[in-house]
Amino acid sequence: MELNGKSISNKTSILNRVKNSSSLGDIIIILVMCTLLTVAVGNKFLSIDNLISVCRQFSFYAIMAIGMCCVIITGGIDLSVGSVFAFSGVVTCMAMTDWKLSVFSSVLIGCISGLAFGFLNGLFITKLELPPFIATLGTMSIARGLSYGITGGYPIGSLPDSFKFIGLGYIANIPTPIVLMIVLAMVFSFFLRKTIAGRWVYAVGGNEEAARISGIKVDAIKILVYSLCGLMAAIAGIATAARLGVGQSTAGQGYELDAIAAVIIGGASVSGGVGNVIGPILGAAIMGILRNGLVLMSVSAYWQQAVIGVVIILAVSFDKLRNKKK
Amino acid sequence: MDEELLLMRNITKNFPGVQALKNVNLTLRKGEVHALIGENGAGKSTLMKILSGVYQKDGGSIVWEGKELELHSPMQATNAGTSIIYQELNLMPNMSVAENIFIGRERKKHRFILNEKDTILEAERYIHEVGLNIDVRTKVEELSIAKRQMVEVAKALSVRAKLIVMDEPTSSLTDREIAILMDVIRRLRTQGVTVVFISHKLSEVFEISDRVTVLRDGECIDTLVTKDCDESQLIQMMVGRPLTDIFPKSEVPIGDTLLEVRNLCAGKLVKDVSFELKKGEILGFAGLVGAGRSEVMRAVFGVDRLTSGKIIIDGQTLRYHRPSESIKKGLGFMPEDRKLQGLILGMAVRENTTLASLGEISNACIINSKKEREVSLNYIEKLSIKTTGIEQKVNNLSGGNQQKVVIAKWLAIKPKVLILDEPTRGIDVGAKKEIYALMGKLAAEGVGIIMISSELPEVIGMSDRIVVMHEGCVRGTLDRKEASQEAIMNIILRENMRKV
Amino acid sequence: MKKMLAWVLVAATMFAVYGCTAGQKTSQPSAEAPAKTISGATAAPAADIPVVKEDKDITIAVVPKALDNAIFLDAKNAAEEKGKELGIKIEWVGPTKSDAAEQVSVVEGLIERKVDGILISCNDADALKDVIDRAVDSGIYVGIFDSDSPNSKRAFYAGTDNYAIGKLAAEKVKELIPDGGKVAILTGVLGAPNLEERIRGFKETVKGSNIEVLPVQTGEDDVQKSVEIVSQYTAANPDLAAWFFDGGWPYFADPDALPEVKKFMKNGGHIVSIDTCEPMMQFVGMGMVDLLIGQNYPAMGSIGVETLYKLIKGDKSVDLGDATHYIDTGYELADINNWKEVLATKTPW
């Protein structure tokens, strides 16, 4: 009987879940922004071309932010994603042009390089007990330096079309990076919600000591999330290289802050334990739509930064105020 | 000398579910050393916290130097002239002795600028008064615990405290340091300062105090002149109470050995500990706070690293000493602090109950949500956890229900051995009874249970055998038949007598 | 509580706006500021080494704004070639990314090691002034290329007149769209003196004509962001007549990554861009840009090294340019007619 009651409440809860989740604030902000933009510039914003362009633009950030989200749920932070983004991009491009490897193995090598950097971050944090901020600050510099080192600063172009498909192509009329983002989001959502390791990620962020006593291998979980974060940065970096048709050692400078901002706007808490995959995607969407709106409205670049800052603070405080009211 | 400094009359204090103090009377005279003794949970700390304004009394009155005093904040108590030195000292380790003495009352010049010269000169005076010979510019973290305690005393003197309360000041001191502290207390007495001395060590009580007050179960038993009474009299007053029938200990056939711990050493607080636990047995661990009982269990379970020793569960020797290994072998461990160590407060009841047993309800690392719901619903019902549902966040539950969630988590692993560290701490009487009943039931099912408790009646009421620990060592083991509070306290207190 | 938050936001916005306008103001004087250290044609530092060094013992350090900026590679190659020709040692050192403080410490290291000459491109005119003066005082000859620090004691500045190339771009745009129309500007880092100078040169030249300059857009010195901005802005403004890129960021991407630009040009749009790096040249051939105006980095590298060499050797024939010791290295143009010849002079990337 009690079981029955539960299942009923579960069915009605989809609306409730949206209402209570931290995503509601973000969804409201996105709707408000879209409405304002439609009123202000009309079809320029609502055109399919523009909407697809916006989605493709933020999909790269969103992919990176999903990885970052896992790290932030455990109460950590990863500053190296921007550099890993660049490193994996140039490694993949070099593998194709200089080492003459196939597109598939090049992409695989690129992904492994990102994974390796994340793994390194995890080792530094768990085994050397470095604070995440410091450890990833170090690898941020290492990955960037290696990117310059192996390329000598030159961008790497003339990439095969089959590679460029990852960034420029379409699958069923949807740009590949968007498809990639959706697939990865589903995989990570499944990972966080349905698997044991995913549950442990939340537990480590919620209360590390209690997690350890409950038999959770805290160090292994931390190494896992940093590795995943590195992998996601690599995927974003490779997709961006494919989208631009060029791998550059200078790519992704400062993207770590965009990724962190997307996660926090998406409702995760820097103190850990809270967050989901939808959050960073909505966060990245807010930033993407905002940037697009500023461009469409032809706002001078000199003013844009200030507006972006105000929206970030509004987006985060919206949730806080709502929670306080509760 | 006989002039009264403080009168606490009919002080009453209630906590949810417990009456911590019942009409307690305490009279302190000017310039006396007054010992306050009683078991853990007798109400000593609560009484002192009311005196220092940390807690507000529910009834009764406080008369300070002939005037009625209403204390609403620690600040008021300090201003009146009381100063409390807690067990966990309140010094800033990264700051100098002088800075610590004047913290919050910094000597200044021109309103905003620190006057370092005055700070140091005055600090030196007070440090001298307590008989300490150190540079006041030394950082507190570089001092021994005893010296830090002296710094606390100096700080109390600097606010011209008329009453200094010392809460178990000798618990972490060496014999020599204790001797120095005793000298300081005597000097304070000659200066007309009243000292309240809380201690478990009767030898010290006899050495230093003028009068002694015994508390038990939140009641004031009596106040006596120290030199007119003897040790056994005091022990009797401290523990003399009939056991009530709240302990539903049923006789369960004791089976084979389940857990064997041999020569365990870990950290500073676990010294060569050995014991064994049998099927269906409830093994109590008694001792004072800080005796090393929790540390033993943390090492057994693999939370803390052990330096040497052997742990055998059901015939299998543990190899890695990690919680994950212990859980696999059927060991469950409910830590003493449920909020810091037991629960993930931001998670739902469902997630907390299944946290240690996710493997059981998963296929290929993927959690079966249906099974998970069933398991948590099952334990909610079994342990009658009061919650709005399995999705309720545990930080919204009451203490007793939170504790039950932690127990549910460990029951879900189907344990062979369950270690319960202070299972009834801070929960109401009703919930306590339920937890005792549950322990009995588990024992009947053949689970071996280890219970650490600082409440002696509970240990005596529930245990088949009792291991008495003191200062990291096992001092003795008592059978259910021979167990009594006197016997336990004797093992502990005699030890202290021998030492001094 | 909410009210307070609102006030904080307002204050923050005002502060940001103030920051923007202040940034614009400070960016202007850098070119107008008179160089006050015209102490005579020699401008020799207080050298106490009377002996003229052997060629093979001479070391000249070339310090770009950042090692990661591919744009300096032409200067690097030219400087190294010139060094080989003269038989001297050329060192390529610099901060890993555009950062004035890091660049200062690089120069400090060079002073410590007592190199003979330094050829530097300054991240910030004021931040580098002191350390350049110290280098000169310790007997090192310092020349500046690409980005000047006019108030320092440097011996000369070899570079491009950024105002002039902005002006040139504007004249070309006027020629391309005789009927006028809307023109958009893409820039990189806001407040960078060389970029602001190009924008100023462009805006002041089109003033009074039938060209309407739209608000400046920035790609934040990032290829991806630049590509997105250009694509979205072009698509959103169908009446746009021309683009002026004051740096070539979008052309570092693959031509396939810029379908909007292709479409824009096919529909009669026009683009004039600064920079003539090797990868950018193909866009000229493909008709995706009308004109590239390049700073002459090879000239900066080789003229800079040669001038320093002459100063070190005490050669009287040294030419330090005009009264402010500015050596104009000129610029190069690449359009559909000559891009192949220009490309031939480039080192392939």
Q: Is the pLDDT of residue B261 over 70?
A: yes
Least confident of A20-24, B12-16, B299-303, C340-344: A20-24
B202 and B285 assigned to the same domain: no
Q: Which domains does chain C have, with CATH numbers?
A: 38-160+298-329 (3.40.50.2300), 162-295 (3.40.50.2300)
Q: Count how many residues are written for chain B.
A: 500
| A2: nearest CA partner in chain B | B377
How much is the pLDDT for B496?
55
CB atoms within 10 A of CB C266: 10
In chain A, where the domains are located: 48-325
**Chains A and C: how many Cβ contacts under 8 Å?**
134
On whether the CB atoms of residues B205 and B226 are closer than 8 A, the answer is: yes
| A149: nearest CA partner in chain C | C68
Residues of B in contact with A216 (CB under 8 A): 323-324, 355
B292 and B229 assigned to the same domain: no
Q: Is the pLDDT of residue A320 over 50?
A: yes
At residue A127, the 3 state secondary structure works out as: coil
B231 and B368 assigned to the same domain: no
Q: Is residue B244 part of a domain?
A: no
Task: Give the separation between CA B208 and CA B222, rounded to whole angstroms.
Answer: 19
The pairing of strands C156-159 and C326-328 is parallel
pLDDT in tens, C75-127: 898 899 999 999 999 999 998 777 888 899 999 999 999 999 999 998 888 88
B26 and B74 assigned to the same domain: yes
Q: How does residue C42 score in pLDDT terms, banded at 50, 70 and 90?
A: very low
How much is the pLDDT for C167?
95
CB atoms within 10 A of CB A278: 20
For chains A and C, having 3+ Cβ pairs within 8 Å is answered yes
Q: What is the mean pLDDT of chain B?
A: 86
Task: Give the separation between CA A254 and CA A236, rounded to whole angstroms.
Answer: 14
Q: Which two tokens stand for residue B159?
A: 């606010």
Least confident of C42-56, C147-161, C296-310: C42-56
| Highest mean pLDDT of the ranges A202-216, B419-433, C23-37, C54-68 | A202-216
Task: Give the separation between CA C63 and CA C66, rounded to whole angstroms.
Answer: 8
Task: Give the separation between CA B406 and CA B353, rounded to whole angstroms.
Answer: 7
B189 and B306 assigned to the same domain: no
pLDDT in tens, B163-181: 999 988 877 677 777 888 8
CB contact under 8 A, C236 and A164: no
Higher pLDDT, A105 or C319: A105
B156 and B67 assigned to the same domain: yes
CB contact under 8 A, A9 and B389: yes
At residue C210, the 3 state secondary structure works out as: coil
At residue C315, the 3 state secondary structure works out as: coil
On whether the CB atoms of residues A67 and A229 are closer than 8 A, the answer is: yes
CB contact under 8 A, B367 and A202: no
Task: Supply the range of the domain harboring residue B319.
Answer: 257-498
Percent of chain C with pLDDT over 70: 85
Count Cα atoms within 13 angstroms, Cβ side, for A200. 24
Contact partners of A by the rule of 3+ C-beta pairs under 8 A? B, C
Residues of A in contact with B343 (CB under 8 A): 207, 210
Residues of B in contact with A6 (CB under 8 A): 373, 377, 389-390
Q: Is the pLDDT of residue B332 over 90?
A: yes
Q: Is residue B23 part of a domain?
A: yes
B212 and B133 assigned to the same domain: yes
Q: How does residue A110 score in pLDDT terms, banded at 50, 70 and 90?
A: very high
Å between C11 CA and nearest CA of chain A: 11
Higher pLDDT, A326 or B88: B88
Distances (CA, A) of B139 to A12, A50, B147, B254, C321: 61, 64, 12, 55, 64
Q: Which two tokens stand for residue C313?
A: 């050797």
B235 and B293 assigned to the same domain: no
How much is the pLDDT for B281?
92
Task: Give the separation between CA A99 and CA A105, rounded to whole angstroms.
Answer: 11
pLDDT in tens, B399-448: 788 999 999 999 999 999 999 998 987 776 667 888 888 999 999 999 99
| Highest mean pLDDT of the ranges A3-7, B231-235, C40-44 | B231-235
CB atoms within 10 A of CB B215: 25
CB contact under 8 A, C216 and A317: no
Please tell me which of the candidates A3, A9, A199 has its beta carbon nearest to residue B377.
Answer: A3
B307 and B403 assigned to the same domain: yes
pLDDT in tens, A247-297: 998 899 889 999 999 999 988 888 888 889 999 999 999 999 999 999 888
Distances (CA, A) of B172 to A323, B169, B175: 45, 7, 10
CATH number of the domain that residue B438 is part of: 3.40.50.300
pLDDT in tens, B131-144: 788 898 988 888 88
Q: Is the pLDDT of residue B370 over 60?
A: yes
Å between C23 CA and nearest CA of chain A: 9
Q: Is the pLDDT of residue C45 over 60?
A: no
pLDDT in tens, A134-181: 999 999 999 999 998 898 878 888 899 999 999 989 999 899 999 999
Task: Give the separation between CA C23 and CA C32, rounded to whole angstroms.
Answer: 16
Q: Which two tokens stand for residue A32?
A: 């408000």
B289 phi and psi angles, rounded to 5 deg:
-60, 130
B193-205 average pLDDT score: 87
How much is the pLDDT for C69?
75
CB contact under 8 A, B341 and A206: no
Least confident of B59-68, B142-151, B290-299, B358-367: B142-151
On whether the CB atoms of residues B85 and B166 are closer than 8 A, the answer is: yes
Bridge partners of C242, per DSSP, are C183, C270
Q: Please report, as a single letter, which amino acid is at residue B378.
A: N
B80 and B111 assigned to the same domain: yes
Percent of chain A with pLDDT over 90: 62
Three-class SS of chain B: CCCEEEEEEEEEEEECCEEEEEEEEEEEECCCEEEEECCCCCCHHHHHHHHCCCCCCCEEEEEECCEEECCCCHHHHHHHCEEEECCCCCCCCCCEHHHHHCCCCCCEECCCEECHHHHHHHHHHHHHHCCCCCCCCCEHHHCCHHHHHHHHHHHHHHCCCCEEEEECCCCCCCHHHHHHHHHHHHHHHHCCCEEEEECCCHHHHHHHCCEEEEEECCEEEEEEEHHHCCHHHHHHHHHCCCCCCCCCCCCCCCCCEEEEEEEEEECCCEEEEEEEEECCCEEEEECCCCCCHHHHHHHHHCCCCCCEEEEEECCEECCCCCHHHHHHCCEEEECCCHHHHHCCCCCEHHHHHHHHHHHHHEECCEECHHHHHHHHHHHHHHCCCCCCCCCCEHHHCCHHHHHHHHHHHHHCCCCCEEEEECCCCCCCHHHHHHHHHHHHHHHHCCCEEEEECCCHHHHHHHCCEEEEEECCEEEEEEECCCCCHHHHHHHHHHHHHHHC
Q: Is residue B252 part of a domain?
A: no
Q: Which two tokens stand for residue B306?
A: 């052990």
Distances (CA, A) of B65 to B5, B33, B53, B178: 5, 17, 17, 31
Question: Which of A222, A234, A191 has its CA nearest to residue A63?
Answer: A234
How much is the pLDDT for B141?
85
Distances (CA, A) of B485 to A283, B35, B39: 62, 21, 10
CB contact under 8 A, A202 and B359: no
Å between A5 CA and nearest CA of chain B: 10
Q: Is the pLDDT of residue C21 over 70?
A: no
Residues of B in contact with A194 (CB under 8 A): 366-367, 369
Question: Which of B344, B361, B500, B335 has its CA nearest to residue B421?
Answer: B335
How much is the pLDDT for B133?
83
Percent of chain B with pLDDT over 90: 37
Q: How does residue C174 score in pLDDT terms, banded at 50, 70 and 90?
A: very high
Q: Is residue B430 part of a domain?
A: yes
Q: How many domains in chain B?
A: 2
pLDDT in tens, C233-252: 998 888 999 999 999 999 99
Q: Which two tokens stand for residue A37?
A: 């933009």
C167-182 average pLDDT score: 94
Q: How does residue A4 score in pLDDT terms, banded at 50, 70 and 90?
A: very low
How much is the pLDDT for A305?
85
C26 touches chain A (CB under 8 A): no
B14 and B127 assigned to the same domain: yes
B463-473 average pLDDT score: 91
Q: What part of C 79-118 touches A (C-beta under 8 Å)?
A: 96-97
Task: Give the separation between CA C263 and CA C305, rounded to whole angstroms.
Answer: 44
B11-27 average pLDDT score: 84
Q: Hey, which CATH number is domain A48-325, 1.20.272, 1.10.3470, 3.30.450, 1.20.1070? A: 1.10.3470
Task: Give the separation between CA A108 and CA A2, rounded to whole angstroms.
Answer: 50
pLDDT in tens, B63-101: 998 888 888 888 888 888 888 888 667 788 888 898 888
Task: Give the separation between CA A225 and CA A66, rounded to whole angstroms.
Answer: 11
Write b or e for each residue in B396-430: b if 16 or more Cβ atoms lie within 10 A of its Cβ, otherwise e: ebbbbbbbbbbbbbbbbbebbbbbbbbbbbbbeee
Residue with tokens 């706002």: A299
B441 and B311 assigned to the same domain: yes
